[in-house]
Structure 1
Amino acid sequence: MLYISFFRGTPLLVQLFMFYYGLPIFLQYYDIHIDFHNFDSLYYALIVFSLYASAYLCEIFRAALLSVDKGQIEAAYALGMTNTQALRRIILPQAFMITLPNLLNFFIIQVKNTALASIITVPELMGLADIESGRSSKFLEVYLMTALMYWVLCVVLETIFFRIEKYFAKFRKKYAK
């Protein structure tokens, strides 16, 4: 719970700074000499984004599993299903349907969060916009174009996710009868 609380309770930007700048200092303090200059900043971003995402996804899945009606689980056991069978045939399909909208929303949030990786010199969309705006001195145009690119990307993802939800909704209707 401490892990989940920490990664959900601290800003992603702070986590990026802690790992990128703080981890080498922390390890050096304990005489663990690792040359972090050879590590690409992308690795730091991947690690932090993974830890951040896993904390949120853990809570999304936990909430979905707890939302499955206890009567469904009891009925599975009454039919003689093992724990594995009940989980695979009854609990997980229902939890997946509950989880899907939250997963898709979280994915879009993570796409937008990638802009923070530019702070630790990861060459991503926002970082490239910073470089271009500094080079051309056309800050408004560059940042408007960057915002448009993020928006188009999110609209495309929302469309894909809407189709995924629609596809799985037909199964919900089919089995709800």
Structure 2
Amino acid sequence: MSKLIAFNKPFGVLSQFTDKGSPTSRPTLSGFIDCPGVYPAGRLDRDSEGLLLLTNDGKLQARIANPAFKTPKTYLVQVEGEAGEDALDQLRGGVQLKDGLTSPADVTRIDEPDLWPRDPPVRFRKTVPDCWLKVTIREGRNRQVRRMTAAAGHPTLRLVRWSIGEWTLDGLEQGAWREV
């Protein structure tokens, strides 16, 4: 029977069950999820937080993770500086990165979301303002949202994936998981 798990991945946790590539032990999914036979459907960088889906169904895993299916992924993104309409329009139109032009993103400025505190906290600088964006992409390039905001002149300070397709973090505490 197919199983699908939604996990609210904390900052600093690897999107895999083991850490073979490091001489020091870094936190992995095995410290949070005790459900044999499931594997991540896509990845979320170690320094990103939020929704990670895991499944034991290879076809479902491909449907979620493969960019050909254009599954929307929505992120809440804290960026450096006050992103104005020019920067938002640049993101909405697609951004030229080293690996090519991105597809257009859905981008809006939002009020600071009510999220759990990040550990460690984002470095605060009195002289440098920040703002929050809601960014939805339908691709899945490596560190894509971070590279897009940097190219638009607003480096990412905090990145939280809120949803993948129909699945969201709504009501899921940091470090917790539920079967969906």
- Structure with the largest fraction of strand: 2
TM-score class, shorter: under 0.3
Larger radius of gyration: 1
TM-score (norm 2): 0.23
- Structure with the largest fraction of helix: 1
TM-score (norm 1): 0.23
Which structure has more RCO (C-alpha within 8 Å, separation ≥ 6)?
2
